[in-house]
Every structure is written in C-alpha cells, then in structure tokens.
C-alpha cells in the first residue's frame, strides 16, 4: 500500500486522514480478499521453524498476596475478569521459570469496576501504572482507560523474585504506551491498576534469529508470483473520485468545517447582519426591515 501511494504521488492526500486511512479503502481491500480467497496458494518455500512456547497467565493462576477486588466488565464485545491492584497487594508467578513477559492485557475501569464512558482524547489522559520488580531492576509502564493489550518492551525473565504490583511509590515510567498521554495538562493518575493477563514466551533453544544483514538494501525485493497479492490493492487514484469515497471524505472533514463556521464565519455573519439592521434603522424604513 505504501509503495502504491508513493508511485502515484498521493502520500499527501493519504496523510489528510491521520493515523488511519478512510474505512472505504480497507473495506474494498477486504472485498477483494474475500473474492479471491479460494485461489490463494500456499508458498512452496520450506522453512525450518522451531516455535517458542507461549503461555497466557491470569492473576487467577498466580500467587495472590493479600486481598483483591475482582470485576467482570462486559458489553456487546468484551467479557473480561479484571483484578484490581492497589497499594498493599501484589502478585507473583507460579511454574513459569525460563519464561519471559512479552505482553500485558489491562483494562483500567472506574474505581467501582464500571466501564468508563469517556471520549477517546480524555480517556488517553486517564492513566495508571503497573510495577514489575525483582532484585535487579524494575519496570514501570502506564496504560489508559482502554481495554488493551500492549508489549512489555524489556521482556523481563520470570523468576521467584519477580513481583507484580501497582506503582504505589509513584516511580517514573520506564516504558510508554502510545495511548497513555501523561503529558496532557488535564491528565488523571489513578491509585490502582486493573490487570487481566500476561502473555509469556519461553524461547526455543533451537530457534535462530534471522540475519537481516543478508538482505541487500539497495535493490527491490521480488515476491514470488504464487504468493504476490499486490493486485488486491484498489485503484485509489480512480477510486478517490467515486461518490462512496467522497461521502466518507466529507464526513471526515465535517467536524473541522463546523469548527471553522463556529469560530470564524459565525462572528462575521453576526457582525454583518447587525450592520445591515443598523443601516436600515438609520434610514427609517421599517417596511423594508
């Protein structure tokens, strides 16, 4: 997709929509995949892959130190079991030696366990931090009011000394999550952290990391024709003139248009209207008024 945008010189057009393209583009890619799925071929390349072992660990499977509030937030999409980490309680791992923590699932709720009903921008500034601590170092990471899964970048090894707790010491964060906006002036830091699960990985000793240096960076990489899917990309140059695209484009711009009318045009219209009324009054022509 990126290459398509570059070759057709429409990157600036694509940048108008922020972090994501208009849904109409992805919707049509999905249609093309659905229409062609029966003719997709499996790559003929033979790969010797030794997968690591993965494990999902919930607080229910962990050693719980002190008491925990347990919530069950659910709606039309989610149904989770959430453990409320606060000052005084903590978790530790059982039977997870040689595993590493590579991800975490959290959902910071209201203090009562209710699902937060906030707009996206406000929710990103309502944050809480978790603290993973062992003898040698500590990892502090914030998340916000979303039901999210994010990576633990330091990938700490699990051992008997590793403690999971709420950041009750108000330590500085050592890692960041893209949708935790602690720089906002209206940020709110919660005195708890709502945890759902950890995602663990035990590396396979036979696994070899791919050596990226063998790939030449100054030539194009050719994709085997039997697995090339570039023909599924819609013709956006033509497509962006369609009514379906235009309708969604206008919908994307609409909030900005309203904002412009409210802040710029409305005062001008009011001022001009007042001037016209005063002009008519000065002419003493009530019939026209």
Q: Does this model's pTM top 0.75?
A: no
Strand ranges (E), the chain: 53-57, 63-65, 69-71, 82-85, 90-92, 100-107, 126-133, 138-143, 147-151, 163-166, 188-189, 193-202
pLDDT given for residue 274 in this prediction: 77
Work out the pLDDT band at 265, boundaries 50, 70, 90: low
Tokens 């347990």 label which residue?
70
How many Cβ atoms from other residues are within 10 Å of residue 242's Cβ?
12
pLDDT band at 138 (very low <50, low <70, confident <90, very high): very high
DSSP state of 154: T
Provide the percentage of residues in the chain whose pLDDT is more than 90. 47
SS3 readout for 195-219: EEEEEEEECCCCCCCCCHHHCCCCC
Alpha helices in 37-170 (DSSP H): 120-123
39 pLDDT more than 60: yes
| Residue 99: both structure tokens together | 């595993």
If DSSP codes are grouped into helix, strand and coil, which group holds residue 164? strand
Name the CATH topology of 53-202. Answer: Jelly Rolls (2.60.120)
More confident residue, 248 or 82: 82
């Amino acid at each position: 997709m990126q290459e398509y945008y570059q070759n057709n010189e429409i990157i600036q057009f694509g940048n108008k929509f922020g972090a994501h393209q208009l849904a109409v583009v992805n919707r049509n890619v999905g249609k093309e995949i659905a229409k062609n799925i029966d003719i997709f071929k499996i790559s003929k390349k033979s790969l010797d892959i030794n997968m690591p072992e993965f494990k999902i660990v919930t607080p229910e499977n962990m050693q719980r130190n002190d008491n925990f509030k347990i919530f069950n937030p659910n709606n039309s999409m989610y149904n989770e079991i959430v453990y409320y980490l606060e000052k005084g309680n903590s978790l530790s791992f059982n039977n997870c030696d040689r595993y590493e923590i590579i991800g975490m699932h959290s959902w910071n709720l209201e203090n009562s366990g209710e699902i937060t009903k906030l707009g996206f921008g406000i929710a990103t500034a309502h944050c809480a931090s978790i603290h993973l601590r062992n003898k040698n170092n500590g990892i502090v990471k914030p998340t916000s009011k979303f039901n999210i899964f994010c990576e633990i970048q330091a990938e700490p090894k699990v051992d008997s000394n590793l403690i999971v707790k709420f950041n009750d010491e108000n330590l500085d964060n050592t890692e960041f999550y893209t949708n935790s906006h602690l720089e906002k002036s209206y940020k709110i830091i919660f005195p708890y952290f709502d945890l759902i699960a950890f995602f663990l990985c035990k590396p396979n000793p036979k696994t070899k990391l791919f050596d990226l240096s063998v790939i030449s960076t100054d030539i194009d990489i050719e994709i085997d024709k039997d697995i090339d899917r570039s023909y599924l990309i819609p013709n956006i140059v033509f497509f962006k003139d369609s009514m379906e695209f235009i309708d969604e484009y206008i919908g994307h711009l609409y909030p900005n248009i309203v904002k412009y009318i409210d802040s710029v045009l409305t005062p001008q219209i009011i001022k001009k209207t007042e001037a016209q009324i005063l002009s008519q009054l000065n002419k003493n022509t009530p019939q026209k008024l």
